[in-house]
Amino acid sequence: MLLAFVAIIFGLVLLIWSADRFVEGAAVSARHFGMSPLLIGMLVIGFGTSAPEMVVSAFAAAQGNPGLALGNAFGSNTANIGLVLGLTAVLAPITVHSNVLRREMPVLIGVTALAGLVVWNLNITRLDAIILLLVFAVVMVWTVKQGMGGDDTLGSEALSEIDSHAMPIQRAIMWLFVGLFLLIASSRVLVWGAVSVAEAMGVSDLVIGLTIVAIGTSLPELASAIVAIRKNEHDLALGNVLGSNLFNTLAVVGIAGLIHPFSFEPAVLNRDYVVMALFTLAVLVFAFRLPRWKRPGRINRIEGALFLAVYVGYLAWVVLAR
C-alpha cells in the first residue's frame, strides 16, 4: 500500500504541474492566434483549474471505477466552496463587484438543480451524459455572448496575467503537447494509486474520490484563489470557483458518463449531492446581496470560517460512514 500512497502523492503533484503547463501553453497559443480575452479567461479560469478533475474522472470511468469519477466531481465542487472559498475568505473577505459573476451564480444554481435530477435514479446513462454536455455547450455559448456585450472583466484580468508571463510561441506549443501527455500519464498513476488504497483499506472508491482525490484536484483552485486575493482581485478568486464548479458538474460528469454509464450508491444523492447543493446556495446567500442592501455582496471571515468548519464536519461524516 506504500507504493499506492506514493503513486497518489506523485500523481497529484505531476497532475497539478502538468495541468498548469498545459493551460499556460494553450492560453499563450490562443493569445498568439488572436482569441478574445473572454475565451482565454474561460480557458484559464474554467478549463484550466478543472483539467485535473476532467482527466481523472474520465480515466476512472474508463477503468470501471464510477465512484471515483463521480466522487471526484462532486467532492471537488464541495471542496472548492468549503475549503477554497472558506480558507480564502478567512485570509481576506471576498467582495463581489463583477456583473459577470452575478449572472453566472444563478446559472450555477440551475446547473446544480439539473445535476440533482440526473442523479435522482442513482445512475448516469449516456442520455444523461449527453444532456449535461449539451447544457455545457449552451452555457459556454451564452458566456461568450455575454462577454461580447462588453463586460469582460474576468477575461481581461486573466489576459493580463498571461501577458505578464508571456513565452515564445514555439515553447508554448511544446508545453501544450508535453503538458497534455503528462496530464494523461499522471492521471493514470493517480487513479491506480487511489483505487489500490481504497481496496487495501476496505473503503469504496467513492470515499477516496470525495476526500483525497477531490482535495488534491482542488489545489489549483486554492492556489489561484489565494494569489487572486493577494492581488486584490476578488472577482477573479470567486469566478475561478464558479467556473470550475460549472465545468465539474456539466463537463466532468458528462464526459465520465459518456465514456462509461454507471450506477452509484444512495449516499451520493442523500449526502454528497445535498451538501454540494447547500454549499452552492450558501454562496448565493453570502456573496450576492440585494441591491437595496446598498453594499456589494461579500463573504466575510466569519462566513469563511463557517464554510471551513462545515467542510471538515462533512469529511468526518464521509470517512466515519465508510
Q: What would the 3-class secondary structure string for 256-316 be?
A: HHHHCCEECCCHHHHHHHHHHHHHHHHHHHHHCCCHHHCCCCEECHHHHHHHHHHHHHHHH
pLDDT (tens digit, 9 = 90+) per residue, 138-157? 988 777 676 555 554 555 55
60 within 8 A of 209, measured Cβ to Cβ = yes
Q: Residue 140 in 3-state DSSP?
A: helix
Which CATH number covers residue 274? Answer: 1.20.1420.30
Q: Where are the alpha helices (DSSP H) in 99-218?
A: 99-119, 126-148, 153-164, 169-201, 205-208, 214-217
How do the pLDDT tens digits run along the chain, 322 residues long?
788 888 888 888 887 787 777 767 766 776 676 655 545 555 555 566 677 888 888 888 888 887 888 898 999 999 999 999 999 999 888 877 666 566 778 888 999 999 999 999 999 999 999 999 999 999 887 776 765 555 545 555 555 555 545 678 788 788 878 877 887 788 778 888 888 887 788 888 889 889 888 888 887 778 777 777 776 767 677 777 888 898 899 999 999 999 989 888 899 999 999 999 999 999 888 876 655 445 556 788 999 999 999 999 999 999 888 6
Looking at residue 29, its pLDDT comes to: 72
| Amino acid of residue 25 | G
What is the domain range of residue 122?
A: 2-320
What is the reported pLDDT for 296? 59
- C-alpha triplet 244, 245, 249: angle, nearest 5°: 120
For the chain, the domain total comes to: 1
List the one residue out of 288, 246, 279 whose CA is nearest residue 101. 288
CA distances from 48 to 17, 179, 207 (A): 11, 12, 25
pLDDT for residue 292: 43
pLDDT digits (tens, 9 = 90+) for 258-312: 998 988 889 999 999 999 999 999 988 887 665 544 555 678 899 999 999 999 9
How does DSSP classify residue 166?
A: -
CA torsion 246-23-54-59 (nearest 10°) is 180
Total-model pTM: 0.81
CB 53 within 8 A of CB 76: yes
The cell for 177 is: 503537447
- Cβ-count burial of 45 within 10 angstroms (0-12 exposed, 13-18 middle, 19+ buried)? buried
CA dist., res. 81 & res. 75, Å (int): 10
**All residues at 6 or more sequence positions from 50 whose CB lies less than 8 Å from its CB, including other chains:** 243, 244, 247, 248, 251, 252
Instruction: Give residue 295's pLDDT.
Output: 56
